[in-house]
Amino acid sequence: MAMNLRQTVAEIGEFELIALIAQRLRDPAIAQVAVGIGDDSAVVSAQGGQVVACLDMLTQGVHFRLDWSSANDIGRKAAAANLADIFAMGASPTALLVGLAVPGQTTVAWVLEFADGLREEASSVGVTVVGGDIVRADSISISVSALGELGNAKPILRSGAKPGDVLAVAGQLGFSAAGLLMLSRGFRSPRVLVGAHRVPTPPYELAHAGLKATSMIDISDGLVSDLTHVASASNVVVNIDSSLLEIPEPLSSAAGAFNGDALEWILTGGEDHAFAATFSNALDVPAGWVIVGSVSAGSPAVLVDGLPHASSGWDHFKS
Amino acid sequence: MAMNLRQTVAEIGEFELIALIAQRLRDPAIAQVAVGIGDDSAVVSAQGGQVVACLDMLTQGVHFRLDWSSANDIGRKAAAANLADIFAMGASPTALLVGLAVPGQTTVAWVLEFADGLREEASSVGVTVVGGDIVRADSISISVSALGELGNAKPILRSGAKPGDVLAVAGQLGFSAAGLLMLSRGFRSPRVLVGAHRVPTPPYELAHAGLKATSMIDISDGLVSDLTHVASASNVVVNIDSSLLEIPEPLSSAAGAFNGDALEWILTGGEDHAFAATFSNALDVPAGWVIVGSVSAGSPAVLVDGLPHASSGWDHFKS
C-alpha cells in the first residue's frame, strides 16, 4: 500500500490503519500462534493447560510524554512492562494483545512506529502481537495484555518467601528514575539514564523458567514498594542490606551532578522492570543475580538496614 | 474498610483503591482461576493447551457518555463486548483482565459501581476479573481482555464459510443503534432500545461450544460491515435476504416515530453483539438462530437482496 505516512489516522480510517499495523507486526517466525490478528480473538499455545496473563495501561502525560519519548520507545516500553510481569511468574511469554486509543489527528507514521517498537521488544523474547483494538480518544492511552505459559512448572508467586530465604535482584535499579529526573530538568543525557527511562531493559533471560526462587516480583513501582507486596503476601519481613546494593557509576555521577541521592533512586525508583526474588538457599541464586538481603519472621514489613523506609514509591493517584 | 464513597480516587490512592476493587470483584465460585488479582500476572485454566484471547478498548465520549450510562452499565458493556468475542470463536470464556484509566477526581463510588457491572456480566457466564491495572488519565478509558479455552474443540473462524452454506444470526440487531439515536435526541425511552445501547445482551448461550458453524463473528460494527470480514477471510459472497430479517416491534415503532429506517438499523447498527454464523446445512442451525441468507462463490462481497449495501458501518476514526 503506497501511502503518505504524514496522513492522520482520521484521514485513512480504522480499517486501512489496522491492515497497515497488522502488516507491520507480522512475524512469521512465531510458532505458538494458531490464530493471530484478523479474527474475533486470537488462539495461542498454553502448554500445561494453564495461561498466565496480565494487563497494564500507559497514559500520555502520566507514563510517557510525546516530547520525551519516540513512538518506538513507547511501544517498546509498553511491551516490556507487560512481558516482565509474565517472566516474574516463572512463565514463558507467548503473545501480546494491544489496545491503542489515539486522537484522530495522530499521524499514521506515529502509529506504525509504535507498532515497530512493540514488535521489536516482543520479538526479543520470541513473541508477537496477536490481536487488539484501535480507537479514538482525546489523548493517547495504551493497554497491553501479555500471555504466557508454564509448561510443567508451577508459577512463582509473591507469597512464597520464607524466613531464612535470601533476597536477590536482577537488573538495573534507579536508572529510570534518574533518567526521568534528567528529562524533567531539561537534559537529554546521560543517555544510559535517559534511555533507561524511555525504554526499560528487563533482564528477561535471568528470570527464565526453572528458576529455583521461592517468590519473585517485577519491580515496577520501586524496590521497597514492590517488596512490600512480597512481605504482605508471604507474611514475612524482607530485609534489604543497603551495603550490598552496588551503586553503578552513571547513578553516582548523576547524583553528584544533580545533588541527588543514588541509593534513594535504587530503593524507590520505579519503571526499571528489574526482578526481585527470594531463594531458600544462596546456592540457588544464579549468575547475574545479586544477593541484597534476607527474609525473616515477623509482621509483614520491608526494612532497609533494619529500619522502615520512609518513601513508599509511586502511587498513580497521589503522586 | 469503612469509608466515604464520595471520596475521589486521588484522595484514597491507588493501593487502597485496588484493595477495594479486588474485594468487590471477588467471586469464590470460580474454579478455573489458580491465581487471581494480587500477583504480577493471573494464572487461569486453558483446557486443551490453547488460550483464546481478545482485547477491546472503550473511551469516554466515543463508546460511552457519563450522562447516558451509569458506571454499572459501562462495566457490563465493557465485559460483554469482550466476552462476545470469545464466544464468537466457539470457545468458553475463563477470565477477564481490566484496565481502567480515570481522572483523579473520579469518585471511589463510580469505580466500585463499574467493578460491580464487570462482575455481574462476567458472573453471568461463570467467569471473573483476575487482574488488570488502574491508572490516571484526563478522561476515562477502559480496556478489557477476555480469555477463553477450547477444550477439544477447534476454533470457529471467519475464514470457514463455503459456497452453499446458509447464513444465520442470533440475538438482537439494530436495537443499540436505535437506542443511541433516542439518547442523542434527548430521549430516555423506549427503555428496550436505550437499555440495549447502554448494556448489550449478547446471546451467549446460542454461541455455545459444539456449535456446528463453519464460520462465526461477533457483530460489533454492524451486520453488513462485520460480514464483510467473513466474506474476505472466506473468499466468498455473503448474501443477506432482507425479507428474512424480522423487524421487531420496538424498532418499527421507533422508526415510525423518528422517521428512521428500521431495516437500515438492523443492517448497519453496531454494538448489539449479536452473532452471525454460516452453517453447511440448514439442519445444523440450532433453535434460537434465524436463517437470513446464504453463501455463494465469487469475489468477496456482502450483498443485500443481490446488491452491494451503501453504508459501510462504523469507523472509529472517520465517523
**Residue B15: predicted pLDDT:** 83
Q: How confident is the model at residue B1 (pLDDT cuts 50, 70, 90)?
A: very low
Pairing of strands B50-59, B141-149: antiparallel
**Residue B28: predicted pLDDT:** 73
State which amino acid sits at residue A267. Answer: L
Q: For B151-171, what is the mean pLDDT?
A: 97
A296, pLDDT greater than 70: yes
State which amino acid sits at residue A273. Answer: H
- Closest of B102, B93, B45 to residue B75, by C-alpha: B102
B30, pLDDT greater than 90: no
Can you tell me the distance from the alpha carbon of B44 to that of B100, in angstroms, rounded to the nearest whole number? 21
State which amino acid sits at residue A51. Answer: V
Largest CA distance in chain B: 65
| Gyration radius from chain A CA atoms | 20
- Closest of B201, B224, B206, B92 to residue B155, by C-alpha: B92
Q: For A265-279, what is the mean pLDDT?
A: 97
Burial class (CB in 10 A: 0-12, 13-18, 19+), B170: buried
A82, pLDDT greater than 50: yes
Query: Considering Cα of A262, then A282, then B40, then A58, what sign does the dihedral take?
Result: positive
Q: For A234-260, what is the mean pLDDT?
A: 96
Can you tell me the distance from the alpha carbon of B42 to that of A86, in angstroms, rounded to the nearest whole number? 9
If one compares B164 and B189, the residue with the highest pLDDT of the two is: B164
Region of poorest pLDDT, from B2-16, B84-98, B110-124, B244-258: B2-16
If one compares A315 and A16, the residue with the highest pLDDT of the two is: A16
In which residue ranges of chain B is CATH 3.90.650.10 found? 158-308
Q: Which residues from chain B sit within 8 angstroms of residue A137, using beta carbons?
A: 59-62, 139, 141
CB atoms within 10 A of CB B46: 31
Q: How confident is the model at residue B313 (pLDDT cuts 50, 70, 90)?
A: low
A312, pLDDT greater than 80: no
What is the least distance, in Å, from the CA of B234 to any CA of chain A? 12
Can you tell me the distance from the alpha carbon of A165 to that of A214, in angstroms, rounded to the nearest whole number? 8
Question: Does the distance separating the beta carbons of A86 and B316 come in below 8 Å?
Answer: no
Pairing of strands B129-136, A92-102: unpaired
**Residue B29: predicted pLDDT:** 73
Residue with cell 535482584: A169
Question: Residue B85 half-sphere exposure, CB side, CA atoms within 13 Å?
Answer: 30
The CATH number given to B11-149 is 3.30.1330.10
**Residue A172: predicted pLDDT:** 96
Provide φ and ψ at A153, rounded to 5°. -80, 160
Segment 58-77 of chain A within 8 Å of chain B by CB? 58-63
Q: Which residue of A has its CA nearest to B217?
A: A40
**Residue A2: predicted pLDDT:** 52
B3, pLDDT greater than 70: no
Region of poorest pLDDT, from A38-52, A93-107, B304-318: B304-318
Can you tell me the distance from the alpha carbon of B201 to that of B170, in angstroms, rounded to the nearest whole number? 11
Q: By the 8 A CB rule, do A141 and B101 touch?
A: yes
β-pair partners for A147: A53, A95
- Cell digits of residue A69: 519519548
**Residue A318: predicted pLDDT:** 62
In which residue ranges of chain B is CATH 3.30.1330.10 found? 11-149
In which residue ranges of chain A is CATH 3.30.1330.10 found? 9-149
- Cell digits of residue A236: 514475612
Q: For A3-15, what is the mean pLDDT?
A: 85
Cα B152 to the center of its chain, rounded Å: 25
| Gyration radius from chain B CA atoms | 20
Looking at domain A9-149, its CATH superfamily turns out to be: PurM-like, N-terminal domain (3.30.1330.10)
Q: What is the pTM of this model?
A: 0.94
Query: What is chain B's mean pLDDT, rounded?
Result: 93
**Residue B48: predicted pLDDT:** 94
> According to DSSP H, which parts of A205-282 are helical?
223-234, 249-258, 262-268
Segment 21-40 of chain A within 8 Å of chain B by CB? 34-35, 38-40
**Residue B9: predicted pLDDT:** 93
Query: Considering Cα of A174, then A180, then A184, then A186, what sign does the dihedral take?
Result: positive
Segment 115-144 of chain B within 8 Å of chain A by CB? 130-139, 141, 143
Q: By the 8 A CB rule, do B273 and B219 touch?
A: yes
Q: For residue A1, give the H/E element and its range.
A: none
Region of poorest pLDDT, from A111-115, B20-24, B92-96, B279-283: B20-24
Q: By the 8 A CB rule, do B221 and B84 touch?
A: no
Counting one residue from chain A and one from chain B, the pairs whose CB atoms sit within 8 A come to 259
Q: By the 8 A CB rule, do B259 and B126 touch?
A: no
Choices 3.40.50.300, 3.90.650.10, 3.40.50.720, 3.40.1190.20: CATH for A158-308: 3.90.650.10
Among partner residues A13, A52, A148, which is closest to B317 by beta-carbon distance? Answer: A13
Per-residue pLDDT tens digits for A168-196: 999 999 999 999 999 999 999 899 999 99
Tell me the helices (H) and strands (E) count for chain B, helix number first: 9, 13
Question: Does the distance separating the beta carbons of B147 and A54 come in below 8 Å?
Answer: no
Secondary structure class of B153 (helix, strand, coil): coil
What is the least distance, in Å, from the CA of B255 to any CA of chain A? 29
Can you tell me the distance from the alpha carbon of A74 to that of A78, in angstroms, rounded to the nearest whole number? 6
Q: For A10-18, what is the mean pLDDT?
A: 89
Question: Does the distance separating the beta carbons of A101 and B59 come in below 8 Å?
Answer: yes
Q: Which residues from chain B sit within 8 angstroms of residue A101, using beta carbons?
A: 57, 59, 141
Q: How confident is the model at residue A1 (pLDDT cuts 50, 70, 90)?
A: very low
Pairing of strands B307-308, A307-308: unpaired
Q: By the 8 A CB rule, do B146 and B93 touch?
A: yes
Residue with cell 500476572: B41
Q: How confident is the model at residue A75 (pLDDT cuts 50, 70, 90)?
A: very high
User: What's the start-to-end Cα distance of chain A, in Å?
Assistant: 45
Query: What is chain A's mean pLDDT, rounded?
Result: 93
Q: Which residue of A has its CA nearest to B59?
A: A137
Among partner residues A41, A51, A318, which is closest to B89 by beta-carbon distance? Answer: A41
